[in-house]
Chains A and B, each alone.
Chain A
Amino acid sequence: MALQAGFVKRVRDIMRMDAGINGDAQRIEQMVWMLFLKVYDAKEDDWELNEDNYTSIIPEEFRWRNWAVADDNGHAMTGDELLDFVNNKLFPTLKNLSVDPSTPVKKAIVKSTFEDANNYMKDGVYLRQVIDVINEIEFDDVKESHDFGFVYEEILRDLQSAGSSGEFYTPRAVTDFMALMIQPKLGEKMADFACGTGGFITSWLGQLQKQVTDTEAQKQFDDSIYGIEKKPFPYLLCVTNMLLHDIEVPNIYHDNSLRRNLLDYTEDDKFDVILMNPPYGGHEDKSIQGFFPDDLASSETADLFMSVIMYRLKKNGRAAVIIPDGFLFGLDNAKVAIKTKLLTEFNLHTVVRLPGSVFSPYTSISTNLLFFDNTGSTKETWFYRVDMPSDRKHFSKTKPMELKHFDDCIAWWNDRKEITLEDGPKAQKFTVDYLLNEQGCNLDLCGYPHEEEEVLDPLDTIRNYQEKRAALNAEIDHVLDQLEALLPGGVTE
């Protein structure tokens, strides 16, 4: 456990002195490619032991054990020599490794992870110091690698800058809760089409681990996951994460899930379980909407992902998705079409509402968990509101949400009753008729009574305002459409 205490702080303190590192995002990126090589090196030890003819894809002199570790005489490269080696030899080599379709994934992964990696540090002496700290990690002890998982989590949580740096990390408590409630079974295949650093996959594996009793099971275990991540940096983190979990051939792809014709998906593209937190307010080219049929096309990436999920969920498959409030109350044409499809073609059985600070400090935006399956159309939907524990006003980086904060919800899950508190309904069910007609697909139910008073971060304040204004405008337009239809010359659809 000595590993955890101060590891991140020590590395951060060293990097702080290097002029090349500008800001937290670069600092994390820097830490991570080095960790990857260290982790990969440890894995290669295992592979060499277990396989007869294992050869590394990395040329000998560029393997971590040969350049980063001190030699028998205690000498190790440092200063300008180290800097030159890393910038002019190591990186170019790893970026240009020879890879073709027949290359095993666990080897090809080195090239793909270095495709967009960068060495930001400009001082070889500090670089040496950081490498030394990283080298202190020993992987012989299995426990150590689990501890390292925690350190890894801390690094991910450490991403201070809100928005673009932090958007690919979902709090562990939430992914664990969703994986728990989805009840993984050995033999099933799960997918996360925007897997980020692999949080959902990790939680899924955590649940499934208990069912692994033999090598056959182990194989099913390894094959049970599938992830796509668009951004190179989180992709690198995810791959490293998978290696840490002994998934040697992780089905993680560096790609953009939205860049495929929605209507082209076949049975082979479908999964038993989908767990994900699609990015909201994503920056996608307008051309991406061309891959979607007109009624489902939207400029909001979360909307597009909902459609991808619906098209890639197997018959009788189960899904749990995190979506923002805007999806619940939004009434623009695309959202109404998507929600109508969700309610009429899928069984949206549960909506769990989460308090605003769950994703703190990345964003203060309010999120919700949609649980649905592909067994038929919805008859009724249960809404449940998770309330803040009484011991605090907000979740924060130092006091984040934990799985235990879901205990009430878990207890309620299999014995569902309506609950009404002083300030409003906490758990209530609604018929699909009510949701489609009276509510007109506005699913903002069992919400938080004092949400209005929360002061959000400026970017979230703006987004929230724009979404709500769009929803109000959509309602107004709906009334005006009806009015128009009754006027001479008005368009009637």
Chain B
Amino acid sequence: MTPERLKASILQAAIQGKLVEQIVGEQCPDLSKLKKKKTEEIEFELPDTWQFAHLESISVSVASKQFQIAAAEFKTAGKYPVISQSKEYIIGYSDNDKMLYHHDNPVIVFGDHTTIVKYVDFDFVVGADGVKIFSPNANIITAKFFGYVMEYYSTGLEKVGGYSRHYKFIKDKPFPIPPIEEQQRIVAKIEELIPLVEQYSRHYEKLEQFNAKFPEEMKKSILQYAIHGKLVEQRPEEGTAEELYQQIQEEKQKLIKAGKIKKEKSLTAIKDDEIPYDIPESWKWVKLGDVVSLLSGSDFPPSKYNDKGEGMPYMTGASNIVADQLIINRWTPTPNNISHLNDLLLVCKGSGYGKTVINTIGDVHIARQFMSFQYGLPISYKYLGFYLQSQIGTIKQNGQGVIPGIDRTFVLNMLLPLPPQKEQQRIVKKIEELLPYCDRLIR
């Protein structure tokens, strides 16, 4: 139940005579001398002692332009308050005596564009276009009651028609007229309830924000659990990560000899105090650069790429990732930094840095916003992808600089908890099983 709905239901009960009791003997004011104007059909049953009328029959509309000053003239302090269509009750101050609207009876201000309704019982200066001022006939309807009826009819209107004028939607609505004493009792009741509605609104907001955060928290929690080695059980028959690590080194050597990947400078060993948390015994802490081959991208000037489909797809950066898929919008006939099918791509620069996606397209040229983990080593790229996702916080922390992003050195030195290969696959399977549930939590 949104706070707006709660307030609307209270106002509705108010204007239908259901909020307070009718008292025998109270009489509705005499409407016979009023200018009659046709209202819309009244849709609910009024109590016997009530009548209804057109709002323009029971109030006087005051032209506001004559009291209006420009926004530039608003002061933060001054003799007279300035009232506009804003949510804030008073938008500023002015010392402009000539523009002061003086009135002896309280008025209701209606924002034609914003549909905000305000009760004002002091002199003021008008601060915007579209400020409609109504002076209700005190013998017929109290200003506050008038205001609440107007507010009821404005409920939800702000969603209609954007910034256009809204008075036309409410002007012909039937304004119920209860006996004056009852109007006062209704107003008193509403004013008793409003602070509670506001309290409710604050709690509701807190709850909404709290609920909105949860699906993401759940995801983070699952990913962290997975890379800590707690999501699936360890199985001794699957071997150890140490064995896998040796295998990877051998494979790397083979690929280097075959010219498929470049030889890299060896990375410094991991120090004991660098290890962030305990991992299962069969796992191994490694540096990312030790177990992958990382290809950096290069940027081409517009003369070297096109949008006509000529040549190999050219991946610019995060803009090529839509709904976790790679999309092609540029091509180049002179590709250089080529990522292959099943490589894992990491956005390392630009506003979307930290995102990962698997290259399901095939040979593509990558620009500098991308780095590519080249496929071919016995490690699960899906596991790597989930690992990088779980590190997004660290990645973002490290990427704060004049130009947002992370560099090659940072990526190569990232600490990766490495499970045995089969376990990586089991972990991936489990995560893929659980993530859809997190998505379902998003409302």
Contact = CB atoms under 8 A, between A and B. Distances in A.
Nearest to B10: A487
A479 B222 contact: no
Contacts of B44: none
Contacts, number: 69
Interface in A435-471: 455-458, 460-462, 465, 468-469
A479 B203 contact: yes
B228 to A, nearest CB: 8
Interface stretch (B87-95, B157-165, B206-214, B309-317): B206-214
Nearest to B18: A488
A396 B6 CA distance: 48
Given A458-B222, A479-B196, A479-B200, A468 B189 contact: no
A472 B203 CA distance: 7
B204 A476 contact: yes
B377 interface: no
Contacts of B206: 472
Interface in B190-225: 192-193, 196-197, 199-200, 203-204, 206-207, 210-211, 214, 217-218, 220-222, 224-225
A386 B224 CA distance: 25
B1 to A, nearest CB: 9
Contacts of B18: 488
Interface string B164-203: 0000000000000000000000000100110011011001
A361 B225 CA distance: 11
Contact of B200 (A16, A394, A396, A476): A476
A472 B207 contact: yes
Nearest to B20: A488
A469 B277 contact: no
A482 interface: yes
A398 interface: yes
A466 B144 CA distance: 42
Interface residues of B, number: 34
B230 interface: yes
A460 B18 CA distance: 47
Contacts of B196: 479, 482-483, 486
A188 interface: no
B210 A458 contact: no
A16 B236 contact: yes
B278 interface: yes
A365 B220 CA distance: 16
B129 to A, nearest CB: 37
A394 B189 contact: no
B324 interface: no
A444 to B, nearest CB: 14
Interface in A346-366: 361
Given A23-B233, A486-B189, A486-B192, A458 B221 contact: yes
A96 interface: no
Contacts of A461: 217-218, 221
A458 B435 CA distance: 12
B21 interface: yes
A211 interface: no
A433 to B, nearest CB: 21
Nearest to A480: B200
B225 A458 contact: yes
Interface in B93-112: none
Given A456-B221, A482-B196, A488 B203 contact: no
A468 B210 contact: yes
A461 B276 CA distance: 20
Interface string B35-73: 000000000000000000000000000000000000000
Contacts of B192: 486
Interface string B1-28: 0000010001001000011110000000
Contact of A465 (B6, B20, B217, B230): B217
Interface in B277-315: 277-278
A123 interface: no
A476 B211 CA distance: 14
Contacts of A396: 277-278
Nearest to A17: B236
Given A397-B278, A469-B211, A486-B192, A457 B197 contact: no
Given A457-B225, A476-B200, A488-B19, A462 B218 contact: yes
B221 A457 contact: yes
B235 to A, nearest CB: 11
A56 interface: no
A487 B19 CA distance: 7
A475 interface: yes
A398 B278 contact: yes
A488 B190 CA distance: 12
Please list the 9 inter-chain residue pairs (A to B) with the smallest Cβ-Cβ separation, ordered nearest first: A461-B221, A483-B196, A472-B207, A458-B221, A476-B203, A479-B199, A455-B224, A479-B200, A455-B220
Given A461-B221, A469-B207, A483-B6, 9 more contacts: A361-B230, A396-B278, A462-B218, A465-B217, A469-B211, A472-B207, A483-B193, A483-B200, A486-B192
10 contacts: A455-B217, A455-B221, A457-B221, A461-B221, A469-B207, A472-B210, A476-B204, A486-B196, A488-B18, A488-B19
